[in-house]
Structure 1
Amino acid sequence: MTQSHDPAGSRNPRSFPYELRTFPSRLVDGKVPAEVVAWMQAVSLGFHGDTLTEELLAFYGAAEEADGRMVTGAYLSGTGAPARAWGENYPVATYAYHRKSLNVGAGTLLPVHQITAVTVRPSHRRRGLLRAMMDSDLSQAKAAGLSIAALTASEATIYGRFGFGVATHSNTVEVTVKGGLELILPAAAAQGMVEIADVLVVREIHHEIFAQVHALSYGSIGRQDMYRQLASGQGKYGSIDPIKNIRAALHYNAAGVVDGYVTYKPTDEKHRSSVEIIDFLAVSDAAYLALWNYLGSLDLIDVILWDMAPVVDPLEWAMAAKRLYKRTATEDHLWLRILDTPGALAARQYTADGTITIHVGDPLGHASGIFRIEVVHGKATVTRCAEDGSVEPELNMGVSELSSLYLGTVSARTLQAAGRVRATDPAAVAVFDTLFAAPAPPHCLTNF
């Protein structure tokens, strides 16, 4: 059912002549409804994609229906589109969400609101459209009981003003394997067995393997249904044409059970022979090193390229020649936005006990307040304090800062040095960093 929203409230309708409509992305009788078609075409326009064919529309629709994706469009309301331009049935701005989970440690998968497909048509920018869609959506997500929203950003300067903070990073790496991959302890990569498989097997097992990796990986966020196609090279955003030269290798543990895979393809580089990793999932450290050992054994290959490597990578420390592991780029990856401060902080794993009181500022009002955090045996009790001057917080920060601190990817000391965290008690920064130390380096393998 379509939901309509009027974010303008009492605004002059001439200053905000738009209506926000929200509806599911799905198939009806095997076909994509007209309103979803128009919305998808608008998204493709925003990301400079091709005009979508019926086949591609159906491909998207089936995958997004599996995720329960809800989409929002901003439509011109009653003003009429100019002659021969896209009509009022095409949104001038788009926005979507689906809901998966975030691994916050100690086996806890916290429900999370994942935002995607955000576009604004160039001819309608700077009219409050993104803010209207974001305000409406975040309010509804909090009302539905979600304590955290998340996104991966195409541009790095847009979402901080809405309270999002960088929570994980990803590395692009080049691993030189010419002549083989020499490891300090070869036995560490010799557990189990690696074998080639038809790449379609990966499409079948992706969800099962990822679920295991997700449950074990601090900072991991749920993947959408499309990933089984992406990982196996059977389709992607913008194309349903399979990748012809993609290959797959599976790792089998001692019991003969598949516990990891890598898919890869050769790249077109004139000055060297290289292989690009498409997707890499490993349930265990042994599977991870064994699959890398396999990649290092490929004949006629100089380097292996991967753009989703962890910031702290065991491979780098397993290699005999560490300098052959090169980081060529590091980028912000997962952005988080706390909506319910007590709910989010109580869900997270803590590795030390202690107490601290913080003030959180939130221009949208969702996460703001003064909160006393008391951690006992790794579990936090978070109490909202009076804001009448009777409680003085030891640390002051914005919701964007708290969202970056949430998984421990950055320290309060670093944000204090950056001018983004203020301490009324000099010892409070160290206390906070002790409490919020990450149980493991956070790593996210999902784009959305």
Structure 2
Amino acid sequence: MSHEREIPGRNPRSFPYELRSFPVRLVDGVVPEEVAKWSQAVALGFYGDAPTGENLAKFAVLEQADGRMATGAYLKDAAAPAGAWGPEYPVATYAYHRKNLNVGGGTLLPVHQITAVTVRPSHRRRGILRAMISSDLAQAKAAGIPLAALTASEATIYGRFGFGVATHKCTVEVATRGGIAFHNPSAAAQGTVEVADPLVVRDLHHEIFARVHAATYGSIGRHDMYRLVASGQGNYASMTPVRNIRAALHYDDAGEIDGYVTYRPNEEAKPPTVEVVDLLAVGESAYLALWNYLGSLDLIERITWTMAPEVDPLEWAMAAKRDYNRTGTEDHLWLRILDTPAALAARHYLSDGSITVHVGDPLGHASGIFRIDVVHGMATVKRCPEDGSVEAELGLGVSELSSIYLGAVSARTLSAAGRVREDVPGAVARFDALFAPPGPAHSLTNF
């Protein structure tokens, strides 16, 4: 997750900062001083609890499991005013870890996940974010990572660095007074659901998520902290366990666990409401059965969830569709293609065809003219000479291509928005036919 308000524009002042990178980890069982002060700066930017020594150690263990690398921007040759944080504290923070992204066809593509981006308010508009992100993306590209990803706290920052919205998440309210009536009740009654201790979810999380991730188009890998978030045992804002969290597990017909939900009451909401903390289901049967269980909670009239998919089977399974209320939709996962041939060749295609496109990239990583040939759902992507001997049929920026990549938007829509250029009549329609997604993409991961 990122939190930064840098305003575009060239700053004539010199760059009085040094960028330093280091792994987040314990050394001889102790949190290194640079990690501790970097973590304090992150907490400042996100208004989290100032981490204590004990919590710093917990964070370091979790982040070490992910291979997280931290970067800080530090003032060079400058003394802090009396009473202020000293130059050993970074004025800006940045981090990454690497997981994978489900791009369809059974492919989990390596992805560079950016997080913990902050800039201290007193040091904004000085090019710090640009320096950090430009250096980091160049290193990821050199390491052979085809895609970068982030989830943004604010929506207007990252487009200029080549990122594009790739998935959305929805906030939903489901009226449950008297239970949820289903068009096909048997579809929501497969297997069994039983109450469990939330600590069981903590221990099961990685295994269940791996199965859901492998089956969910658009899903991106979760970091180790998620097993605590899902079970209410802690998060980056506070490591105090959530009060009154509950859990239920779904068992398939063979008695194997294939899903869970964790939830808690919202004691201030009217009507009586339960909030879903995390819900993972390996298949549709487990998904509907867990919702059937939530609908059966006594004294509860509404269930809310902030991570629902844009296209939700529950909405169409309910006999009273109007009891499913989508109260908000916002951008969630942002992608940034770094290697155009590698990213496009990894993606699964539903139809065959060919097209030549020009991709613009302000940082140069993904730019060029590319010939895309798809045969039996597999793409071959060749870089073409840019000497005028090859003419592109369609032109777009890397931000636009990154949004199209999983199907968040069509080239036709972006063309109407003035963000895709059709150089050959019919190219937009052919491009959209080629890039049609296998289904709606859904990411279940905040980072």
Report whether the alignment pairs 1:407 with 2:406.
yes
Match of 1:217 in 2: 216
Residue 269 of structure 1, CA deviation: 2.6
Match of 1:80 in 2: 79
Rounded Cα–Cα distance in structure 2 between residues aligned with 1:74 and 1:360: 32
Rounded Cα–Cα distance in structure 2 between residues aligned with 1:151 and 1:159: 9
Does structure 2 conserve the Cα–Cα contact (< 8 Å) formed by 1:353 and 1:375?
Answer: yes
Residue 389 of structure 1, CA deviation: 1.0
Match of 2:425 in 1: 426
Rounded Cα–Cα distance in structure 2 between residues aligned with 1:24 and 1:44: 18
Match of 1:238 in 2: 237
Match of 1:171 in 2: 170
Q: Show the 5 A alignment for 1:378-417.
A: 378-417=377-416
Residue 84 of structure 1, CA deviation: 2.1
Rounded Cα–Cα distance in structure 1 between residues aligned with 2:201 and 2:36: 29
Match of 2:142 in 1: 143
Rounded Cα–Cα distance in structure 2 between residues aligned with 1:271 and 1:446: 28
Match of 2:155 in 1: 156
Matched residue of 2:63: which SS?
helix
More displaced, 335-344 or 269-278? 269-278
Residue 341 of structure 1 aligns with an amino acid whose one-letter code is T
What is the CA deviation profile of residues 113-158 of structure 1, one whole-angstrom value per residue up to 9, with x for unaligned ones? Answer: 0000000011111110000000100000000000100000000000
Q: When the two structures are aligned, how many residues end up with a matched partner? A: 438
Does structure 2 conserve the Cα–Cα contact (< 8 Å) formed by 1:361 and 1:369?
Answer: yes
Unaligned runs of 5+ in 2: 1-9
Matched residue of 2:235: which SS?
coil
More displaced, 237-246 or 384-393? 237-246
Runs of 4+ more than 4 Å apart: 11-14
Match of 2:5 in 1: none
Matched residue of 2:437: which SS?
coil
Match of 1:59 in 2: 58
Q: Show the 5 A alignment for 1:338-357.
A: 338-357=337-356
Match of 1:368 in 2: 367
Rounded Cα–Cα distance in structure 1 between residues aligned with 2:191 and 2:392: 53
Matched residue of 2:201: which SS?
helix
Residue 12 of structure 1, CA deviation: 12
Query: What's the Cα RMSD here?
Result: 1.2
What is the CA deviation profile of residues 52-93 of structure 1, one whole-angstrom value per residue up to 9, with x for unaligned ones? Answer: 111221121111111000000000111222222111110000
Match of 1:4 in 2: none
Rounded Cα–Cα distance in structure 2 between residues aligned with 1:91 and 1:139: 22
More displaced, 235-244 or 203-212? 235-244
Residue 439 of structure 1, CA deviation: 0.4
Unaligned runs of 5+ in 1: 1-10
Residue 96 of structure 1, CA deviation: 0.1
Does structure 2 conserve the Cα–Cα contact (< 8 Å) formed by 1:147 and 1:344?
Answer: yes
Does structure 1 conserve the Cα–Cα contact (< 8 Å) formed by 2:195 and 2:249?
Answer: yes
Matched residue of 1:126: which SS?
coil
Matched residue of 2:264: which SS?
strand
Residue 409 of structure 1, CA deviation: 1.4
Residue 276 of structure 1, CA deviation: 0.1
Q: Compute the TM-score of the two structures, normalised by the length of structure 2.
A: 0.97
Residue 239 of structure 1 aligns with an amino acid whose one-letter code is S
Does structure 2 conserve the Cα–Cα contact (< 8 Å) formed by 1:56 and 1:238?
Answer: no
Rounded Cα–Cα distance in structure 1 between residues aligned with 2:75 and 2:12: 11
Residue 29 of structure 1 aligns with an amino acid whose one-letter code is D
Rounded Cα–Cα distance in structure 1 between residues aligned with 2:394 and 2:52: 53
Match of 2:121 in 1: 122
Rounded Cα–Cα distance in structure 2 between residues aligned with 1:238 and 1:290: 32
Match of 1:6 in 2: none
Does structure 1 conserve the Cα–Cα contact (< 8 Å) formed by 2:11 and 2:127?
Answer: no
Match of 1:8 in 2: none
Residue 325 of structure 2 aligns with an amino acid whose one-letter code is K
Q: Show the 5 A alignment for 1:183-202.
A: 183-202=182-201
Match of 2:440 in 1: 441
Matched residue of 2:249: which SS?
strand
Matched residue of 1:178: which SS?
coil
Q: Percent identity over the alignment?
A: 74
Does structure 2 conserve the Cα–Cα contact (< 8 Å) formed by 1:411 and 1:433?
Answer: yes
Rounded Cα–Cα distance in structure 1 between residues aligned with 2:200 and 2:137: 38
Match of 1:3 in 2: none
Matched residue of 1:36: which SS?
helix
Residue 389 of structure 1 aligns with an amino acid whose one-letter code is G
CA 268–382 in structure 1, closer or farther in 2 if over 3 Å, else same: same
Rounded Cα–Cα distance in structure 2 between residues aligned with 1:438 and 1:217: 13
Report whether the alignment pairs 1:36 with 2:35.
yes
Match of 1:252 in 2: 251
Match of 2:313 in 1: 314
Residue 354 of structure 2 aligns with an amino acid whose one-letter code is T
CA 229–12 in structure 1, closer or farther in 2 if over 3 Å, else same: closer
